[in-house]
Structure 1
C-alpha cells in the first residue's frame, strides 16, 4: 500500500509538473525569440534616420559602427551600392525596394528583417539585418535546464512527503495485521495501539474489544471445564475404591490401571483449562515410548476380546511436537475406536515409523467393517459415539504441523494415518 500511494503521488506530481513546465518552457522560447527580433528591429530602425538624411560617408561610418558590435547589417542604396555586411540582394530586399514597406521573413538560417527607407532623393534604400537561430534561442537551454532541475526537485520533495504520509497510514495497518496474527496464534494479550486516522483508530478499538471478548469467553470455558473435571474426581475415587475391593488381584490391577489412565486424562484437562499453554512453546515427547506404552495397555483388553494386535514399532527415540499426554490420548482414541466399532476378534495393526522430514508417522489399521471418512465430524458419528476421537487425533496432527488421513484398508476396514511433525528441540528422558 505504501508503494502504491507513493507511485500515485509520483504520477500526480509528474502530471502537474508537465502541465506547468511544458507551457512555461514554450513561453520562455517565445520570449527569447521576441527579444532577439525586437533588439534587431530596434537597431535597424536606429539607422533609418541616418540612411534617409546623411551623406554616403556618414552612412558608411554608422553602418560600420553597428556591424562592429557583431550585428549583421547590410544597407542597399538605390544606385546599387552595398554598405555593411556583404550579402546578395534577396527576394525580401527586392520586394521592400519596389513596394517601399518593411517585412520580416523566416528562413532556414534565422529571421530576415528588411526595413525600407524612402527619404533619399535617388529612391528607396533598404536596410537588412539577419537574426540567426542561435540568437533566437539564446538562453533557452539554460532556462529549460533550470526548469527541469526545479521539476526534479519538486518531484523528489513530493515523493518524500508521499512516503512519509504513506508511512503514517501503513504503519498502523501493519501493526493491526501483526496484532491479528498474534491473536490467531492464541496470544490473547495482544492489543493494538489506536493510532493513525480516525477510521484506523476505530478498527484498532474494535479489534481490542474483540480480543478482550474472546479472552473472557475462553476464560469462562476453562472455568466450566475445570469445574466439570473436578466433579469427575468423585466418581473416579469411587471406582478406585471398587477396584481395590476386587478379590481377583489381576482384575483389580487391570481396573486400577484403567482408572489411573482416566485420572491422568482428567488431570490433563484441568491443567489445560487452568493454565493456557504458550502456542510457541516447543513441547515434545518420544512417540516410540508413548505408543509402545499405550499399545501394551490396550493389549490386555485385546486378549480378553480375542483380538490380534500387530505392533511394528521403530527404534526410538522418535521425537514429535506433541506433549506425551496428548499423544497418549490420541493413541487411546484411535484404538478405542477400533475396539468400539469392530466386532470382537477383529485384528488391528499399529505401525510407527520415522517421518521423511523428521517426526513420526503412526498408522492404525483394522479389518472391521470400515467407516466412511466423510460421515465423521466433530460432535457427530454414524456409530452412536460422540465423534470426538478422530477430531482429537486431527487436532494433535495439525498442532504439530502434520495431518490426519483416513482411507479404506487393502481388503476392508479402516486405515488411519497420523503424521506428526518434529519438535524444534528435544531432550531424551
Structure 2
C-alpha cells in the first residue's frame, strides 16, 4: 500500500510539473526571444539616429564610434544613399536575430546578433525550471512517504489488533491516529474487544462456577447411587432412588440457574416457597457428611415461614454455606431462621475460628479465600441470592455468621420456635 500511495502521489506531481513546466518553458522562450528582438531593434534605431546626424552634418560615418555603441559580438551594416555600405563588427555565420531601422534621409541600419545568446538564456531558464521541478519531485516523494506511513502504519496496527482479537487477546488498545475514518475503525475494534472480553470472562466464570457448584450435588448423587448398589432392600432402593431423583432435579436447576446468570445475572424466577422444606432438605442431606466428620448440624428458629425466591437457588446458597462450614469451620453448625420486618432471615453459623478480620466482606469477592479454596463459592452464592432480590451478608466474623435475607410472604400458620437435632 505504501508503494501504491507513493507512486500515485509521484505520478500526480510529475503530471503537474510536466504541464506547468512545459508551459512555463514555452512562455519563457517566447519572452526571451521577444526581448532580444526588441533590444536589437532598439540598437538599430540608436545607430540610425547617429548615422542620420552624421549625414545631416555632412560628416563621414565614424565606424569606430558606431562600434562602441554596438553590443559586443554584434554586427551592423549601414547603408547611406550615394555612399558605400559601412560594416561594423564581424559577420555572424550562424543563425541570427536581425533588427532593421531606416532614417529620414534614406539611411538603413541592419543590426544582427547571434541567436546563441537567446539559446543560452533559454538554457539558463530551463536549468532553473529543471532545478525547481527536481526540488518539487523530492519534496513530493518525502511528503508521499510521510503520508503513506501515516495511512499505512495505522492500517497495520488495526490489522494487528484484529489478529489479536482472533487469537483470543481481547485487550483494547485505545490508540488513535488523527484520521477520522481510521479512528472510527479503531473505536469499533476497541468496542468489539471489550465485548469479546466480557464474553470470554462470562464463559470462564460459567465454567468455574459450574465446576464448583456442581461438585456438591454430584458428590451427594454419587453417594446415593452407591447406597443403591450395596443394598438388597427394595424399599431402601426406592427411598434412595427418590432422593437421587430429587438431587438430579436440583442439579438440573443449578445448571439452568448458572446458564441464566451467565446471560444476565439480574434475571430471577422468584416464587413463594416453603423455607422449612429447603432447610430440612439441606440438614438431611448434609447430616451424613457431618456425622462422618464427628460433627453435628442442627436447625433452630422460627418455622412455618414462606419466602420469595427460587427454591433451587436458595438450596444452592445454603449448600455453599453449609459446605464451607464443614470444610473451614468447626464444632456444631446451626441453621437459624428468624424474621426481620418483611424479610425472612436464614443464618448459618459454626463454632470455628471464623473469617480472618482482614477479609471481612471481601470474602464474597471472587478468588478471595482465607482457607486455600477457590474463592468462587461465596461469590456465586451472593449472585444467586441477588438474582432473586435477596442478599447474602456476613453478619459476624468470629464466630462466623452468614445470613441470607429473602422477601417474606405471610405464613400459612404460626408455629413456635423449636430446635431439631
Q: TM-score range by the shorter chain?
A: 0.3 to 0.5
Q: Which has the higher contact order (CA 8 A, sep 6+)?
A: 2
| TM-score normalised by length of structure 2 | 0.47
When Rg is computed on C-alpha atoms for both structures, the one with the higher figure is 2
| TM-score normalised by length of structure 1 | 0.46
